[in-house]
Amino acid sequence: MVVTLGRKVKNIFTALSTVGLLASCAPMATYETGEDPAGATGIQNTATPSEHKTLAKYHDDRADDLWVKAKEQKQLLEHYEEKSYLYGKRAQDLQAHTSALIRNYERAATANIKEAAAHRRIASELEKNNSSAARPQKVNVIY
């Protein structure tokens, strides 16, 4: 009985250690999780046109990075399709995984482009409002 209890404890410890190791190695990049660090709170906390322009540039740069990653994955997918015999049974899995990555990168890039456009639109509206508020307005005073 002591031997089996020790074996059970060892198996449980091994399983928990493996789960912990796998969880710590999981990729948590924002591109892959779909999280947006600037998100909706970024728009609410942004007050000036220059801040919106900065956020627009950030989203444009991020979209460019994602397009580059998608292009790299497309090249890799072509390689997997042309040389599938090198990968044996894993070839279809690799192709499917790479196709999914391409879709995710392109979807995220498109979302970033839309976000950048929204920030540019808000910046131009704020500039227009600021310029119209800066002009002196004619006021009728009745005595």
- In angstroms, the CA 57 to CA 106 distance is 18
Whether 35 is in a domain gets the answer no
Taking the alpha carbons at both ends of the chain, their separation in whole angstroms is: 104
Instruction: Tell me how many domains the chain contains.
Output: 1
Whether 110 is in a domain gets the answer yes
Whether 141 is in a domain gets the answer no
Whether 39 is in a domain gets the answer no
Whether 3 is in a domain gets the answer no
Whether 12 is in a domain gets the answer no
- CB-CB contact of 87 with 80 (8 Å): yes
Structural domain for 99, as ranges: 48-132
- In angstroms, the CA 94 to CA 88 distance is 10
Whether 22 is in a domain gets the answer no
More confident position, 112 or 25 = 112
Indicate the helix (H) or strand (E) that contains 38: none
pLDDT attached to residue 139: 46
Whether 71 is in a domain gets the answer yes
Q: What is the CA radius of gyration of the chain?
A: 26
pLDDT, one tens digit per residue, over 73-90 is 999 999 999 999 999 999
pLDDT, one tens digit per residue, over 97-127 is 999 999 999 999 999 999 999 999 999 998 8
